[in-house]
Every structure is written in structure tokens, then in C-alpha cells.
Amino acid sequence: MPRFTPHPTAPVPERAVLVGVERRESDWPIGESMAELARLAETDGAVVVATMVQRLDAPVPRTFIGSGKAGELVRMVHSLDADVVIFDDELTPSQQSNLERIVGEPTKVIDRTALILDIFGEHATTREGRLQVQLAQLQYLLPRLRGMWSHLVREQARGGIGSRFGQGESQLEVDRRLVRDRISCLRKELRRLEGRRKVQSKARWDSGVFRVALAGYTNAGKSTLLNRLTGAGAYVKDELFATLDPTTRSMVLDAGRKVTVTDTVGFIQKLPTTLVESFKSTLAEVMAADLVLLVADASDGNVRKEIAAVRRILGDISASETPTVVVFNKIDALDDEELALLRTGAPDAVPISALTGRGIPGLLYRIAEEAARGDEVITALVPYERGALLRQVHERCRVIREEYRPEGLLATVSADPRMREALAPYIEGAGQ
């Protein structure tokens, strides 16, 4: 017999109860919103053991749900031995504190915002991504500090030995100051990184390379599409927010034109405003793009609502004016009738399957078409000693015809306004 009994070391998943409130003015049916919340919980490693929904015109100020439902929640938590209660909407600090007191320790009460922040904290890998998540977490934490020190405040109110020192309030103020100082430091560091990103973005702009950004609902297949287009080898997994940090890769279109493609963080309904604010430097890649490919999961029944949610966030970051092409991904999961119905509602969208490659030639043609808007055909004789300009001709223009002459390269190209300006001294007849 072995001397020691082995014990499993794998973490035990937390048991979660989900709670939602159904309201008449909501854009999303409560069932679909709760299903998405369940996927978020599972992405964060929890096991959903029960779901509770209440229909209300407006949340109850004190506990978000009614007192009767709160009592039912307590019984459900105790009978199912739940570790955490997750609300589908953001709770105020007082609501969260009241609910934790009602449910009782050790069960935690959190909301969708805290859950998403936890997932982001797990998935962020770059320094900038981790700083952005930490900033959003601290901004969420700051107004909730009082509840975390309520036990010391109660001790002070009780009186007796030690109560004169006001430990709770003192510690609360110390913590608030520390959190505010840390938030200030994070913002400074993110501004520094944002400045570096702007320099890189300006360098890409100065190079004249056409920039494409992938935006869309989380798990729509953006990273798979980036890999299909550029062979980037980006991390891909069938879960929400599998990748957070932007990845930029280059590719060359059939006409010889070089473009860059950037994969960005996925969006979701009820995305916390603190996250949108914290990730603005990352989302700047979308703002600076020449073209946005709005990638949507064609197999999802909520695809149109998801597109609307993404457009709202693009508006929030001032990127709604950027030329946008809707890309219906995962059409391999649809039959011909479903695909035809989908295209009827969005005739300008491009249907593809990033997984199988179906429709990718049509998408590449559309990208080339968008990149060529504003181009004009010119003929220029570029001296051989202008090596950098010759390289730009091949990278940034669609070469129609070229002829090597003793004095230089005579090229007929389709060029954008900036390349036409650079080639102006060498255009045929320019010096006459």
C-alpha cells in the first residue's frame, strides 16, 4: 500500500447562481442575455447550478430584486451550496453590500461587470493589456471600498476599547488614497504607451500602407480570420474574450498592394464603460484604420443585435465614420436557405467561413476595392537612385505596366493621392 494518499490538485470550479431582471424596454430578451451570462461564467471557470429571473419595471433600489426574490435566492444558495451569485446587470455598491449581507458569508455576490473584468484579467497578456485591465478593475473597486471595511466601521460604532481610533474610517481613507494614487500612475503609464502606439501608427500612416482593422462581437472568429488572411498564428479558442491584445500583421493583395490587418478586442452587450475607457488606446487601432471589417457570427440567432451593439461601441470611440464592411463569418454552419435569408437583409455584407476558407477570395477582392478608392492611373519615370520610392511603388500601388529604361523605371500604376504627390516630379510630362 502506498504511504501517502494522493489528492487532486486541480482547482475546484465555483458553483454559480445567475440572477437577471426582465424589463420591457430591454433590447435583448432575458433568456438570451442570461445564456450569454452563463457562457461568461463558464469562461471564467464557474459551473452554473441555477438561474433566477424576475420581471420588474425597474430594479429595486436597495437589493435590485424584490424582497421575496431575495429570500428565494438565499434558500437557493444554501440548498445548492453555491459559492457565487452573479447578477446580469451592474449593481450599485450599496446593492451589492446589501445582497452580500442578506445571502451571508462565504457566498460572494458580483455582477456582470465584475465577471467581465475577471475574465479580462485572466486573458490579458501584454503589459499594456494588463495595465488597462488593472485600471478598469480599480475604477470599479474604488466606490465599493466602504463595504469592504464595514466590519471595522461596525466595531467603531459599537464603542469600547479600541473604538476611539476609528480604524475603519482611517483604513478606508488610506485605501482610497492608495487606489487613487495607483489609478493616477496607471493612467500616466498608459498615456506613455499610447504615445508610443501613436508613433507606430504614424509610421504606418507615413508608409502609406492601407490599414484594415477587425472589429466585432466576442467569439465571432476575428482571430481565425486574421490567421486565414495573414498566417499570423494568433491564439484561437471557442470561448468569450479568448484574445484581448491587438495583433497586427501584413499581407499582400493579388494586385501587389501591401496592407496591414489588426485584430482587436471583442465587444459584448453591456460592456462596462470603464473597460471601454481603459481600452481606448487599444481601440485606437480601430479609430486609425482606413477600413473596418465588422466580423459577425452568421450562425448566431442574435447576429443583427450583435452588429448593432458593435456599431454602438464604434460610435462611442468615434470610429463610426470609418468605412465599414460587414463580414458574415461561420457560414459553414448555415444551409443555403439560411444563407440566402441572411444576405437578403444585408446585401452589401461579405459571407465567409474563416475556418474553411469559403468566401475569402471575395473578401480579398472587397478589401482591394476599398483600398483602391481614390486611386488614379498615372505613368511616372522613377530614377533608379530613388530606391525607397521604387519600393513604395511596388508596395503601395497597383502596377499595371512597367518598363526598365536606362534612366529609370517607367511605371504605369494606380496610385492613391499621397503616392501621386510623391511621384509628381516624375510623372510623364511634369517637367514640360
Q: Pick out the residues of the known binding site for Mg(2+).
A: 223, 243
Q: Give the DSSP letter of residue 265.
A: P
Annotated binding site for GTP: 216-223, 241-245, 263-266, 329-332, 353-355
* Pairs from 253-256 (Cβ < 8 Å, separation ≥ 24): 253/364, 253/367, 253/368, 253/371, 254/364, 254/368, 255/368, 255/372, 255/398, 255/399, 255/414, 256/394, 256/395, 256/397, 256/398, 256/399
Q: Which residue has the cell 458553483?
A: 15
Contact status, residue 408 vs residue 382, Cβ threshold 8 Å: yes
Distance separating alpha carbons of residues 297 and 53, to the nearest angstrom = 27
Contact status, residue 70 vs residue 102, Cβ threshold 8 Å: yes
Torsion of CA 204, 209, 210, 214, to 10 degrees: -50
Residues whose CB falls within 8 Å of the CB of residue 76, separated by 6 or more in sequence, listed in order: 17, 50, 52, 82
Query: Minimal CA–CA distance to 123: which of 241, 278, 255?
Result: 241
Query: Minimal CA–CA distance to 354: which of 216, 173, 199?
Result: 216
Query: Minimal CA–CA distance to 116: which of 63, 22, 43?
Result: 43
Residues whose CB falls within 8 Å of the CB of residue 14, separated by 6 or more in sequence, listed in order: 45, 46, 47, 83, 84
Residues whose CB falls within 8 Å of the CB of residue 375, separated by 6 or more in sequence, listed in order: 398, 414, 415, 416
Distance separating alpha carbons of residues 54 and 18, to the nearest angstrom = 11
Contact status, residue 113 vs residue 140, Cβ threshold 8 Å: yes
Contact status, residue 39 vs residue 20, Cβ threshold 8 Å: no
In 8-46, DSSP assigns E strands to 15-22
* Pairs from 103-109 (Cβ < 8 Å, separation ≥ 24): 103/73, 103/74, 103/77, 104/74, 107/77, 107/82, 107/83, 108/83, 108/84, 109/84, 109/85
Residues whose CB falls within 8 Å of the CB of residue 145, separated by 6 or more in sequence, listed in order: 172, 175, 176, 179
For the chain, the straight-line distance linking the first and the last C-alpha, in angstroms and rounded, comes to 99
Angle among Cα 429, 371, 210 to the nearest 5 degrees reads 95
Annotated binding site: 216-223, 241-245, 263-266, 329-332, 353-355
